[in-house]
Amino acid sequence: MDGTGAASGTAPQMFRVFPIMRALHELLAYLAEALTQPAARPLQHERTLALDDTERLTQLESEEILNVDLAAQRGTINRLLLRTSELVRAEVPGPTEDHRGADLMEQNSRELTCARPPSAGPP
Protein backbone atom coordinates (compact mmCIF):
# COMPACT_ATOMS: atom_id res chain seq x y z
CA MET A 1 0.00 0.00 0.00
CA ASP A 2 1.18 3.55 -0.72
CA GLY A 3 -0.87 5.61 1.74
CA THR A 4 -3.79 6.07 -0.67
CA GLY A 5 -5.24 2.66 0.09
CA ALA A 6 -4.16 1.36 -3.31
CA ALA A 7 -1.30 -0.80 -4.40
CA SER A 8 1.70 1.38 -5.23
CA GLY A 9 1.52 0.56 -8.94
CA THR A 10 -2.01 1.95 -9.31
CA ALA A 11 -1.48 5.33 -7.62
CA PRO A 12 -0.02 7.14 -10.68
CA GLN A 13 -2.92 6.00 -12.86
CA MET A 14 -5.42 6.94 -10.14
CA PHE A 15 -4.03 10.46 -10.04
CA ARG A 16 -4.28 10.77 -13.84
CA VAL A 17 -7.88 9.50 -13.88
CA PHE A 18 -9.09 11.70 -11.01
CA PRO A 19 -9.23 15.08 -12.84
CA ILE A 20 -11.05 13.50 -15.78
CA MET A 21 -13.57 11.82 -13.49
CA ARG A 22 -14.00 15.07 -11.55
CA ALA A 23 -14.73 16.97 -14.78
CA LEU A 24 -17.24 14.33 -15.88
CA HIS A 25 -19.07 14.57 -12.57
CA GLU A 26 -19.11 18.35 -12.88
CA LEU A 27 -20.78 17.99 -16.27
CA LEU A 28 -23.28 15.57 -14.74
CA ALA A 29 -24.16 18.15 -12.09
CA TYR A 30 -24.73 20.84 -14.74
CA LEU A 31 -26.90 18.49 -16.79
CA ALA A 32 -28.91 17.41 -13.74
CA GLU A 33 -29.59 21.08 -12.94
CA ALA A 34 -30.56 21.77 -16.55
CA LEU A 35 -33.08 18.93 -16.42
CA THR A 36 -34.94 20.77 -13.64
CA GLN A 37 -35.65 23.82 -15.83
CA PRO A 38 -39.25 23.73 -17.07
CA ALA A 39 -38.63 26.49 -19.63
CA ALA A 40 -36.15 24.26 -21.44
CA ARG A 41 -38.48 21.29 -21.79
CA PRO A 42 -38.03 21.25 -25.61
CA LEU A 43 -34.43 20.11 -25.02
CA GLN A 44 -35.34 17.46 -22.43
CA HIS A 45 -34.56 14.50 -24.69
CA GLU A 46 -31.17 15.87 -25.78
CA ARG A 47 -30.19 16.67 -22.18
CA THR A 48 -31.22 13.21 -21.02
CA LEU A 49 -29.13 11.59 -23.77
CA ALA A 50 -26.14 13.77 -22.82
CA LEU A 51 -26.57 12.86 -19.15
CA ASP A 52 -26.76 9.15 -19.98
CA ASP A 53 -23.70 9.37 -22.24
CA THR A 54 -21.68 11.22 -19.61
CA GLU A 55 -22.77 8.77 -16.92
CA ARG A 56 -21.62 5.94 -19.20
CA LEU A 57 -18.19 7.55 -19.44
CA THR A 58 -17.86 7.56 -15.65
CA GLN A 59 -18.39 3.78 -15.66
CA LEU A 60 -15.42 3.06 -17.93
CA GLU A 61 -12.32 1.28 -16.72
CA SER A 62 -9.50 3.62 -15.73
CA GLU A 63 -7.48 2.87 -18.87
CA GLU A 64 -10.49 3.84 -20.99
CA ILE A 65 -11.20 6.98 -18.96
CA LEU A 66 -7.70 8.20 -19.80
CA ASN A 67 -8.73 8.07 -23.48
CA VAL A 68 -11.95 10.06 -23.04
CA ASP A 69 -12.00 13.16 -25.23
CA LEU A 70 -12.98 15.50 -22.42
CA ALA A 71 -12.77 18.62 -24.60
CA ALA A 72 -15.27 17.14 -27.06
CA GLN A 73 -17.62 16.05 -24.26
CA ARG A 74 -17.44 19.50 -22.66
CA GLY A 75 -18.04 21.17 -26.02
CA THR A 76 -21.13 19.09 -26.74
CA ILE A 77 -22.58 19.69 -23.29
CA ASN A 78 -21.64 23.36 -23.31
CA ARG A 79 -23.60 23.93 -26.53
CA LEU A 80 -26.58 22.13 -25.03
CA LEU A 81 -26.36 24.12 -21.78
CA LEU A 82 -26.14 27.40 -23.71
CA ARG A 83 -29.31 26.49 -25.60
CA THR A 84 -30.93 25.58 -22.27
CA SER A 85 -29.84 28.91 -20.81
CA GLU A 86 -31.31 30.81 -23.76
CA LEU A 87 -34.69 29.17 -23.24
CA VAL A 88 -34.66 29.88 -19.51
CA ARG A 89 -33.49 33.49 -19.93
CA ALA A 90 -36.13 34.12 -22.59
CA GLU A 91 -38.73 33.89 -19.83
CA VAL A 92 -37.14 36.72 -17.82
CA PRO A 93 -39.44 39.74 -18.11
CA GLY A 94 -38.20 43.19 -19.03
CA PRO A 95 -35.02 44.41 -20.68
CA THR A 96 -31.87 42.42 -20.12
CA GLU A 97 -28.18 42.72 -20.87
CA ASP A 98 -25.74 40.07 -22.05
CA HIS A 99 -22.99 39.63 -19.45
CA ARG A 100 -21.53 36.44 -20.94
CA GLY A 101 -17.75 36.60 -20.65
CA ALA A 102 -17.84 39.92 -18.76
CA ASP A 103 -15.51 40.62 -15.85
CA LEU A 104 -18.03 41.10 -13.05
CA MET A 105 -15.58 41.38 -10.18
CA GLU A 106 -16.72 44.04 -7.71
CA GLN A 107 -20.01 44.50 -9.56
CA ASN A 108 -23.21 44.84 -7.58
CA SER A 109 -25.16 41.78 -8.71
CA ARG A 110 -28.45 43.45 -7.79
CA GLU A 111 -27.86 45.94 -10.60
CA LEU A 112 -27.28 43.25 -13.23
CA THR A 113 -30.04 41.69 -15.31
CA CYS A 114 -30.05 38.32 -17.03
CA ALA A 115 -29.29 38.24 -20.71
CA ARG A 116 -32.02 37.62 -23.22
CA PRO A 117 -30.63 35.73 -26.18
CA PRO A 118 -30.67 37.79 -29.38
CA SER A 119 -32.97 35.25 -31.02
CA ALA A 120 -35.59 35.66 -28.29
CA GLY A 121 -36.69 39.11 -29.49
CA PRO A 122 -38.46 41.70 -27.38
CA PRO A 123 -40.35 40.73 -24.22
Domain locations in the chain as residue ranges: 11-89
Distance CA 84, CA 52 (A): 17
Distance CA 121, CA 12 (A): 52
What pLDDT is stored for residue 1 in this prediction? 47
pTM of this prediction? 0.73
C-alpha distances in Å from residue 54, one per residue of 16, 42, 81, 111, 120: 18, 20, 14, 36, 29
What pLDDT is stored for residue 98 in this prediction? 73
Distance CA 68, CA 70 (A): 6
In residues, how long is the chain? 123
Q: Per residue in 52-74, pLDDT tens?
A: 999 999 999 999 999 999 999 99
What pLDDT is stored for residue 109 in this prediction? 66
**Which residues of the chain carry a pLDDT beneath 50?**
1-2, 120-123
Closest CA to 23 of 72, 61, 82, 63: 72
What pLDDT is stored for residue 112 in this prediction? 60
What pLDDT is stored for residue 7 in this prediction? 58
